[in-house]
Chains A and B, each alone.
Chain A
């Protein structure tokens, strides 16, 4: 298993390099311009100067190598310096700078991580916690009323987009009932019970929207996987031996059914980091998803490049984790 993991990690390096190049080339080919959003009162020759000051007058390949150096050498050294207090060289290295804010991209990402992890991450956890029991009961009592309702709710949650459910909840709970705020306050510091309550209140709506969406997806997987296993011979054998129904269901069937589900859940973790673009926009959570979409709209190429590359790293990494978990959970699978 260890050599397998090591081999996969080594393979990931060229894969990621190719990914980074493809992202860079795609962004460069896209007909987008960082001065495109500026008022038309800014004359063309000034726009040309702005583009030059961003380094856009350099050739494509040079800009790519420059980004590689900034991202793979300068930024890690910077983080190391900050963590350890050591000093490498004179300490003044060109960092990856966002074009719109002219500030280091990594600082922006660090600033955005907490709200994304709290809101999107929590919604993922809730989604899983809701989905597993519903999926199990739905499968065990297939075609019962519970199953029908569960199927209906998950179909609704899956097919109704978050830009609809989000706005619907805002209209009901913020505008009409006025129970929850419609705008997320990223400045809120939780230090006592009342601020904690406020944090819970402002997280309630976005987390609900995303939990519903996540839960509906995962329930379907759990239900399908449970159904597959419920009709297996070993279940019949266990029942024939007189094993209690509870043990049959929760120990034999559930454990076997969770193997593919765990893989699905692991593969979904990177989407937490990429944020929930639409939900973040609706509630102004201003996490990584909102950062990415603003950067795309404003043609802030260094920011888009860095963010998408980090997502690529996470996806490659969690693919590996899913594969390894699969091997650990299912003894029949051996990679070596």
Chain B
């Protein structure tokens, strides 16, 4: 708790400093031109869930509190962050109370009240609404308003980390008056509300062309009379990442472009033109190789990768799992595919710093082919005439799946080559991202079905608390036909000791102890080889040198502080 307070104090101080340095008048800096190469489909993040929609809408609608660029909570529409110390969170961890800042208004001039907050919760949990952010409201029993300025959230069970509902860009508050008749099955019909939500943020939607361009103007009722500095925002969509980077860094037609997934050397050349710069922020994304703990032999048919198939003939050997990790040179993968947007990692929870472990860095971060070879020799895996190791007729030859993406295919090639040095063969396969991540139970190529020996992709968690994320490796979360392939324990890892420790984490409230537990869980997954973490991935965006105030954020929307952005003269 102390840490959190300290962070909060620091953030407030930083905000104060930024405030004094800023310009004094609203709407004096003209048009802010932003480019999203994946076009925005709607301004209602409850109906979409895509990152681009969440980011775009964050300029208009706001949550009660946000994360800043360091991952610390910042009050937005409330006067302070509730904690156990200040009495905002109940001692039994069953409820929390938010105090709304006085005088906050919607962009249409009406007052923002606790009623709107309650309505937002009801809107998202309404049956048949298909709310994409329903997970943010998980464990919330009720939301009440003791008075118009107070919101009380009651939980179904004690919540040691209660900051989820109405926190972060994923769960902004929408106006009751506007969405009252759009609840449940009626939600998609309210096109004009979904395209132009009334919000409390610095900008207001003027015109929305779906999947093309959004025009926004400064909110005349924004709570800070001096902000935003820009009078209008044009958010254009479409095209590809490389040409978006070019429009900012080379031609200077745009001020800001999101998500620069471009080869590092091409970006470096564009930056050399001297018109813009790159910003990188590291959140919790980790590219990993999952190792299948169940047998994925195609001859098993529908049984493969399920409990009935039995343990994997070779990957169930801890020595093999450790050797596969030792053989990989992560720094080469980072250099080739990620550049400044990646760091080698051995953790599945790489950030925030408080929960990032360093325990396994000593053996795991450095490639050690000799040690890997020795490990396999000692375990009895002998090289055959074709150079591939085998034991009792089982060959170390793996089907290696991932989604179609040039960086992933290049990484596959590199890993295949590294593994060949320890006598392990790999057959590479890739499936289109919308199929691989699509979750269609009828498709054999989804990452949940895992009809391969190893598979590679990126996952992360929202916010800064990894509890829910670490619970994905519980024994009962293994996907299979019984649960419609819906579990999140993709490697099919199962360890009762791990399950017990996760149970402990869910009952611990002190931040220090939570961090220690999270590290322990993370280390367990790496040491036991549930997966091979490869790259801690950052998000990269580019902006013009004339744009001031950008504080690149991986914990919330990148546009979280767009109200503070200005054009440097």
Contact = CB atoms under 8 A, between A and B. Distances in A.
B438 A299 contact: yes
B443 A31 contact: yes
Nearest to B273: A175
Given A31-B443, A37-B434, A297-B434, A183 B191 contact: no
B212 interface: yes
A31 B246 contact: no
Interface in B13-50: 35, 39, 41-42, 44, 47-50
A285 to B, nearest CB: 8
A33 B439 contact: yes
A186 B460 contact: no
B438 A35 contact: yes
A107 B48 CA distance: 19
Interface string B228-243: 0000001011111001
B130 A33 contact: no
B437 A36 contact: yes
A15 B461 CA distance: 50
B490 to A, nearest CB: 10
B426 to A, nearest CB: 24
Nearest to A31: B443
A32 B188 CA distance: 21
Contact of B135 (A31, A46, A107, A183): A46
Given A39-B49, A39-B51, A281-B239, A44 B488 contact: yes
Contacts of B42: 100-103
B437 A31 contact: no
Interface string A176-210: 00100111011100000000000000000000000
- Which 3 residue pairs are nearest across A and B when measured between Cβ atoms? A53-B130, A33-B438, A36-B438
A282 B47 contact: no
A215 to B, nearest CB: 25
Contacts of B212: 111-112, 186, 286
B487 interface: yes
Given A40-B460, A41-B461, A175-B251, A187 B243 contact: no
A240 interface: no
A32 B438 contact: yes
Interface size class of B (residues with CB under 8 A): 35 or more
A54 B188 CA distance: 9
Interface residues of A, number: 57
A260 B195 CA distance: 48
Interface string B207-225: 1011111010000000000
Given A42-B135, A104-B191, A187 B234 contact: yes
A252 interface: no
A39 to B, nearest CB: 6
B144 interface: no
Nearest to A174: B251
Contact of B188 (A33, A97, A290): A97
Nearest to B444: A31
A187 B215 contact: yes
Nearest to B52: A37
A290 B211 contact: yes
Interface string B187-208: 1100100110000000000010
Q: Is the interface of B mostly helix, strand, loop or mixed?
A: loop
A36 B439 CA distance: 7
Contacts of A52: 128, 130
A278 to B, nearest CB: 10
Nearest to A35: B439
A48 interface: yes
Contacts of B243: 167, 170, 182, 282, 284
A44 B48 contact: no
Contacts of A290: 39, 211, 238
Nearest to A111: B209
B48 A100 contact: yes
Given A181-B253, A186-B212, A286-B237, 17 more contacts: A35-B438, A36-B437, A38-B49, A43-B135, A45-B486, A46-B135, A47-B439, A49-B134, A101-B211, A103-B42, A103-B210, A187-B207, A284-B238, A284-B243, A291-B211, A294-B238, A298-B41
A183 B247 contact: yes
A50 interface: yes
Given A44-B486, A104-B191, A182-B246, A286 B238 contact: yes
30 contacts: A32-B440, A33-B435, A33-B440, A35-B49, A35-B438, A36-B433, A38-B49, A38-B132, A40-B437, A41-B462, A42-B132, A42-B135, A43-B135, A44-B487, A49-B129, A50-B130, A53-B128, A53-B188, A97-B188, A101-B211, A102-B44, A102-B188, A108-B211, A111-B210, A112-B212, A170-B243, A182-B247, A183-B35, A284-B239, A286-B209
Contact of B253 (A33, A45, A183): A183
Contacts of B462: 41
A187 B33 CA distance: 13
Contacts of A36: 433-439
A216 B502 CA distance: 66
B215 A43 contact: no
B211 A100 contact: yes
Contacts of A286: 39, 209, 211-213, 237-238
A155 B375 CA distance: 60
Given A39-B49, A102-B47, A187-B207, A281 B238 contact: yes
